[in-house]
Structure 1
Amino acid sequence: MQVLGPHRFNPDIPIPAEATAIHGITDADVATCPKFGDAAAVEYMHFMQDCDLHGFNARRFDVLLIRTEFKRVGILNFPPLETAVVDSFKLFCLQERRDLTAAVEFYCGRSHEGAAHSALADAKASLEVLQGQLRHYPALPRDVAGLAALCAGQDITADGKFQWRGEVPVVAFGRHAGVPLAVMIEQHQDYLRWMSLQVGVFHDMLDNIT
């Protein structure tokens, strides 16, 4: 079996502190590492050619990240869309439900089958689930503001496409992920114009920033 890596590459941009806190890799750690340029990209492309892929949340993260990095160096549509991707997270979600019915069973010890999708029954069940979560997790905040802040995390907008990095608002999706909003205004106004056409995005964001 051929093995390639593990390798580290210099991303050519500062590594956010939030990312370092997760994986422990600093700018200094990759300062002398090669960039994912033509030679490395071609080597990895040949290695992955005709391979099936597997990972945890791979369909929504790893595969998209890989395609983006290949695209940056001019290699388009790799891995191909028809590549077989086995995603352990997807299988986990399929086999261990994460819906209201499953939450009622777990936190309340009763069945919600048959009542699911009745608006009133779902609303009552949601409150029961919250009460069950508060009993189950003593470390959870006991006030609405604390719970809401925990649910929001670093999100500025409800969809999480804009987030706080410390006190700096940044884009949190797509090819400009991690770029401060101030930089976007200076350098990528066309992208912001496109975003402004998305209903409610900027009104939501500005309300949260101000």
Structure 2
Amino acid sequence: MQLKLKNPLVVFDLETTGTTISQDRIVEMALIKVMPDGSVEEKCRRINPTIPIPTEVSLIHGIYDEDVKDEPTFKQVAKSLATWLEGCDLAGFNILKFDVPMLVEEFLRANVEFDVDNRKLVDAQKIFHLMEKRNLTAAYKFYCGKDLEGAHSALADTQATYEVLLSQIEKYNGEKVVDLLGKELGVIENDVNTLHALTNKKMVDLAGRIVYNDKNQEVFNFGKHRGKPVAEVLQREPSFYDWMMKGDFPLDTKRKLTQIRLRNSFG
């Protein structure tokens, strides 16, 4: 099948140092330009982000500081990239929430004009979610083969969720669970402890502002201290604790932060 295009369409994906648009940077770009005549041009290159790549992020995309230290910065390639993208519409997976904002932010930092207002943006994730619903009604139909009557009433939703859970365990019992990189996370079993371990991220607080890294250390999961051990930050920058306690963070986050602070006898 060939896409019907009036303008070239660039399908692209970014690997980055993290997910905070204002602070993180691009480390790799892959772009496929599809022309109206069906011809295709591909580009893929790594970028020196000029900031460290957190280890937990490198473990996901496989790109480490050493891999990009000799690569050009985004500022060095920005003008030629903007020229290559001129007149092109953009497509990708989850580009509306992440890739496009990140790309625009990088162009702005480089002081290179890159306007998306007159471009068509196509997000394959949006189409996926529109066509393949991922709500309780869809899950009930998929796992239990039934239509959910009275959806969004507490009792109906709760009963349906219980049936879905039972059907999931029956359907997947004994099957391995792997992540997007093929790493085995465990096996589905009729056991609450096992299911808990598989479905819960290693979060310290419920909002996920503090998480455990691969060394089982409590690290910040946002802002300028993303990936840094909480204990080290609180020791070196005591005012950060006061800033968080006065800030608009959940009470649970503040409680866990205080527990870490007291455990390490800061202040």
Q: Please, which moves more after superposition, 198-207 or 120-129?
A: 198-207
Please state how far the C-alpha of 1:97 moved relative to its aligned partner.
0.5
Please state how far the C-alpha of 1:60 moved relative to its aligned partner.
1.9
Assess if the C-alpha contact under 8 Å between 2:48 and 2:70 holds in 1: yes
Superposed counterparts of 1:1-210, under 5 Å: 3=41, 5-37=43-75, 39-74=76-111, 78-80=114-116, 83-112=119-148, 114-138=149-173, 139-166=187-214, 167-173=216-222, 177-181=226-230, 182-183=232-233, 186=237, 189=240, 192-193=243-244, 196-200=247-251, 202-203=253-254, 205-206=256-257
> What do you get for the CA RMSD once the two structures are aligned?
3.4
Q: Distance in 1 between matches of 2:242 and 2:107?
A: 22
Q: Please, which moves more after superposition, 26-35 or 101-110?
A: 26-35
Q: What SS does the corresponding residue of 1:163 show, helix, strand or coil?
A: strand
Please state how far the C-alpha of 1:40 moved relative to its aligned partner.
1.2
Please state how far the C-alpha of 1:188 moved relative to its aligned partner.
8.4
Please state how far the C-alpha of 1:199 moved relative to its aligned partner.
3.8
Q: Distance in 2 between matches of 1:194 and 1:65?
A: 29
Please state how far the C-alpha of 1:194 moved relative to its aligned partner.
8.7
Assess if the C-alpha contact under 8 Å between 2:90 and 2:121 holds in 1: yes
Q: Distance in 1 between matches of 2:245 and 2:109?
A: 21
Please state how far the C-alpha of 1:155 moved relative to its aligned partner.
2.8
Which structure's residues are more often helix, by fraction? 1
Which structure's residues are more often strand, by fraction? 2
- With normalisation by structure 1, the TM-score equals 0.77
Query: Structure 1 regions of 5+ residues with no counterpart?
Result: none
The alignment-based identity, stated in percent, is 37
Shift in alpha-carbon separation, 1:190–1:208, aligned structure 2, 3 A: closer
Please state how far the C-alpha of 1:20 moved relative to its aligned partner.
3.3
Equivalent residues, number: 207
- With normalisation by structure 2, the TM-score equals 0.63
Q: Distance in 2 between matches of 1:46 and 1:192?
A: 43
Runs of 4+ with >6 A deviation: none
Please state how far the C-alpha of 1:169 moved relative to its aligned partner.
3.3
Please state how far the C-alpha of 1:33 moved relative to its aligned partner.
1.1
Shift in alpha-carbon separation, 1:41–1:4, aligned structure 2, 3 A: farther
Q: What SS does the corresponding residue of 2:70 show, helix, strand or coil?
A: coil
1:38-71 CA-partner distances (Å, limit 9, x unpaired): x312222333344321111111221232233334
